[in-house]
Amino acid sequence: MDRSEIIRWLKEEDPRRLKELYLRAYAVKLKNVGNHVFFRGIIELSNICQKDCLYCGIRKSNARVERFLMSKQEILESSKSALDMQYGSLVLQSGERTDLEFVDFVEDVVREIKALRDSNNSLGITLSLGEQTQETYQRWFDAGAHRYLLRIETSNSKLYEELHPADHSFSERLNCLEVLRKVGYQVGTGVMIGLPYQTVEDLADDILFFKDKDIDMIGMGPYLVHKDTPLAESIQEDIRKKNLELGLKMIALTRIHLQDVNIAATTALQALSLSGREMGLQSGANIIMPNITHTKYRKFYQLYEDKPCLDENASLCRDCLSQRIDSIGEEIGYNQWGDSPHFLKKR
């Protein structure tokens, strides 16, 4: 697909034609990554953040959030529950912190998770901890993490600047993606879809960006309002509804254009529709990140409003998800890392 074709599809509104697009993407998915859904149990270990992104509910200027950092013990307990539930992989996510105390803490936690079973090394670890130095990325990699998610948020540097305060840098973020690759991680990135001021041309360029940067994993989802953020006022209800469809189109087009990468059906899709993630799987996604954060912390980690599963615990989410995935005829790859086929082929 070339840029103009991607743009045409992003503008398409005819439900029959869109159905064709999703079916086509699903066929590409089956051919390249099969019908297995891989789980990454996500632990949102802290909402303390030194950044101030204009869209995000845990930005440092939001004084209405109570801040937390899970203890090492709590993180290890959640990790054990992932093992018990046969999730093959974890994602550790948090607000961004670059101080040495935090860097040491994460390194220690990663090492201990990797040592959890006598069989050792049974959980794959993805980190989603923001922009760090090469040294930090290297230390966490050496400790045992092997995948890293760092969304570029938008590949349009102008738009990036509008959505972030002046001390945030698009080029530094880009550079982090390069460094992650150099260190040896499977590199994931992604964008928010339906941001104010964002055009379909921007979104098409996002997909071309993923390809150009040889990205292994994609995590992207609709932009959702958080009322305590400056951007909240500029978005209307009907745009919200359009965003679900736009999110599905982006997954489908990314699958068709990149073929063999891992693509997540993100929680943000589920926030817009109860069955949003299943729709994502049927449009080409193959990864789901069930929340395994302890229920007592979930309400403090709201990057956007209407975040689902705030009151459910990890095992409830597991049962709910397995039913949902059964219902669309897909299989769950329990106890497997489910690495990006694109990455594995390069090796």
When the beta carbons of 198 and 293 are compared against ligand FES, the nearer one is 293
Residues that bind ligand FES (CB under 6 A): 290, 309, 312, 316-317, 320-321
Nearest-angstrom CA–CA distance, 304 and 288: 18
* Residues 224-243, interacting with ligand 5AD (CB under 6 A): 224, 226
Q: Rounded to whole angstroms, how far apart are CA atoms 237 and 38?
A: 32
Q: Which is nearer to ligand 5AD, 88 or 196 (CB)?
A: 196
Q: Write down the least CB distance from residue 90 to ligand FES, Å.
A: 16
Tokens describing residue 75: 């993180």
Q: Which of residues 233-292 bind ligand 5AD (CB under 6 A)?
A: 268
Contact region for ligand 5AD (CB under 6 A) — 95-103, 166-174, 222-230, 316-324?
222-230
Contact residues for 1 (Cβ-Cβ < 8 A; gap 6+): 9, 253, 256, 257
Residue 223, contacted partner among ligand 5AD, ligand FES, none, CB below 5-8 A by kind: ligand 5AD
In whole angstroms, what is the distance from residue 214 CA to residue 217 CA?
9
183 close to 140: Cβ distance less than 8 angstroms: no
Site for ligand 5AD in 2-61 (CB under 6 A): 55-56
Report residue 287 CA to chain centroid gap. 9
Q: Assign residue 280 a region: left if phi > 0, alpha if psi is -120 to 50, beta otherwise?
A: alpha
Q: How far is the CB of 298 from ligand FES (least distance, A)?
A: 10
| Owner of token pair 């497997």 | 336
CB of 255 to ligand FES, least distance (A): 22
Is the distance from CB of 276 to CB of 267 less than 8 angstroms? no
* Closest separation in Å from C-beta 253 to ligand 5AD: 18
Q: Which is nearer to ligand FES, 145 or 264 (CB)?
A: 264
Could you give the C-alpha distances from 210 to 65, 149, 263, in angstroms and in order?
33, 13, 11
Nearer to ligand FES, 106 or 288 (CB): 288
User: Which of 102, 160, 185, 223 is in the footprint of ligand 5AD by CB under 6 A?
Assistant: 223
- Rounded to whole angstroms, how far apart are CA atoms 320 and 137? 35
| Residue 56 binds which of ligand 5AD, ligand FES, none (CB < 5-8 A, kind-dependent) | ligand 5AD
